[in-house]
A and B are shown apart, each in its own frame.
Chain A
Amino acid sequence: MTLQIDVEGTRSEPAPKITPAGSSDRSFSPVNVFSHTVLIAWSILVVVPFVWSLIASLKSTGEIFGDNPWALPKELLFSNFSKAWDKGVGDYLLNSGVVVVGGVFGTMLFGSMVAYVLARYEFPGNRFIYYLFAAGMMFPTFLAIVPLFFVVKGFGMVSTYQGLILVYIAYSLPFTVFFMHAFFRTLPTSIAEAALVDGAGHATTFFRVMLPMAKPGLISVGIFNVLGQWNQFVLPSFLSPEKPVLSQGIATLLGSQRYENDWGTLFAALTIAMVPVVVVYLIFYRQVQAGLTGATLK
């Protein structure tokens, strides 16, 4: 047992056979059992709170905080969902949707434009602008939140869609530029040059040739931005108090539950907030994981 190690890649290719005779091909080694026990325990710790919350969305407050919070609901209270909707969850959903669609579109467009120009054109100040954007990734939004509020207020854009969209774009640019910059660098230069020689303008070359080639990168960073902007909480809670997005709405509803004591409705709202994200995640989880972690490593 002590003579073995592995990296993922060794599975497919035969490694030098140095396993002591007698311990080969058994399904249950103590290490294996131990690994699964630990990993399953953590999976339960992660997944159970979510599953419980989904079930709680169909319970009454009495059942959620009753003698046995683990019991299944006696009757399925779908009315929790309509109550949640009436409490503004529909509006929050709309606000989140509008802001994320606008924000992600703008972020992707501007981000890839900047990244392309920085990656492919030499001009004075290129490095400076690159580092200016890269620096934006390091610092928490919190440093700037008070003056930012007054900047947005100065434009008369507090609690407006355009205000949030512009701020989301600005705060998503650093990561998007950084990621797409690296991506454009990996693409071959010959095709763009051919297009330019054929008389296509710089902008046409970018939109017609380079952007389609960069599709895999755009998808990764796009998913990242959709999730990031959908889940954004700090920015809207200061910049859009009158027009709350979904994550803000959840926080507000939690606050009001302390008086109203209608927890089934809160969990219904939570479910409405969770399910779309979880579905997107389950479909795209490879891209999501690669997109979210990939950039951190670079």
Chain B
Amino acid sequence: MRHGSYRFVASFLALPLALYAIFVISPFVQAFYYSLTDWTGISPKFEFVGLENFQTLARDAVFRQALGHNVILLIGVPLFTIFLALVFAYLLNVGGKANSAGVQGVRGNGFYKLAFFLPQVLSVPVIAVIWSVVMTSTDTGLLNSVTNKLGLGTSQYLASPKIALYCVMWVLIWGSVGFYLVLFNAAMSGIPKDIFEAAIIDGAGRFATFSRITLPLLWDTIQTAWVYLAILALDAYALVAVMTAGPGGPDNSTQVMGLQIADNGFQYGRAGYASAMGVVLFFLTLLIAAVMLRATRRDRIEY
């Protein structure tokens, strides 16, 4: 290493690292510490209470409800988003007309990608406002007026404790599909075509090539998608906070952990307790990422 380059390295790293340490690393570390205290967030004095917060947490009915809802989202959001994105990516690539050169991607490929991706560039509150109005529970609500005409009847949507959570789930899926479609589409076009030609010669059909070639070769990408969507489902705070009544209602039916952290930390003056929830969320995220990456591990195929 040339003379003087250590000083250069240090001068380039100092400020960004300081910012990162102060605003990202230290709050994360502090959350672990506060989770063992009874800090209110207001008074400067607090006591060390050991694992008491976690014991309380285990008995907290609302938090358990919130956790349950996050688990439902954790299963539903990645499952449906990845399924839809894969189907759409496949249709874009293979759904076109047939001619002597094999099967083509559909026309208007670019338009579909442009449209599907749109929700990804808009902020969550914008999307939340639009969908809460689309799903207005009265008979003249936007969605209700359509389903009514189609003879499907009407629904209470976000006003119904039974289905409000699934409405939230739908909006999460609706907003994410386009992103993963583009992701899968890019991965699909990265697969060398001689693999497909070999399959054609061996007599494989559309479905067989998809399930036996495309899907296994996309496995790495699907895995990544799953982890990202799981993190999204564990959060869901912004959407619930803006879109649901209460927020978290009706009747706690859309409570999620993020909302509980915000309520306890900022409204009820239980910053220590909220930090304990944050720690639980942290380990859940870690656990899910580890499980997903291990359980679904396959040999990486290089080409």
Contacts and interface: CB of A to CB of B under 8 A. Distances in A.
A250 B129 contact: yes
Interface in B85-99: 87-88, 91-99
B76 interface: no
A202 B8 contact: yes
Contacts of B197: 15-16
Interface string B200-226: 110111100100000000000100110
Contacts of A47: 115, 118
B278 A247 contact: no
A186 interface: no
Contacts of B138: 65
Contact of B31 (A1, A69, A146, A230): A146
Given A45-B174, A46-B178, A289-B117, A147 B30 contact: yes
Nearest to A138: B289
B145 A68 contact: yes
State the 9 A-B residue pairs at the shortest beta-carbon distance, nearest first: A35-B95, A231-B123, A144-B27, A170-B23, A147-B30, A110-B16, A146-B265, A202-B8, A147-B27
A263 B15 contact: no
24 contacts: A25-B99, A32-B106, A42-B88, A46-B118, A46-B174, A47-B115, A49-B134, A68-B140, A110-B19, A121-B5, A122-B1, A142-B281, A145-B261, A145-B265, A147-B26, A147-B28, A151-B23, A230-B123, A231-B123, A231-B124, A233-B123, A270-B130, A285-B117, A297-B221
B296 interface: no
B98 A4 contact: yes
A292 interface: yes
Interface stretch (B50-58, B150-158, B232-240): B232-240
Interface residues of B, number: 124
Interface stretch (A72-80, A82-90, A272-280): A272-280
B191 A148 contact: no
B262 A238 contact: yes
Interface string B1-28: 1101110110111011101101111111
B252 interface: no
Contact of A248 (B6, B119, B125, B133): B125
B20 to A, nearest CB: 5
A6 B104 contact: yes
Interface of A: 1-11, 14-19, 23-29, 31-32, 34-36, 38-39, 42-43, 45-47, 49-50, 52-53, 56, 64-70, 110-111, 113-114, 116-117, 121-123, 129, 132-133, 136, 138-140, 142-152, 166-167, 169-171, 173-174, 196, 201-203, 206, 227, 230-234, 237-238, 246-248, 250-251, 254, 263, 266, 270, 273-274, 277-278, 280-282, 285, 288-289, 292-294, 296-297
A35 B23 CA distance: 48
Given A46-B178, A69-B142, A143-B282, 17 more contacts: A11-B105, A43-B115, A46-B174, A114-B16, A123-B6, A140-B258, A143-B31, A144-B28, A147-B26, A202-B4, A246-B123, A250-B123, A250-B242, A251-B241, A263-B133, A273-B123, A285-B117
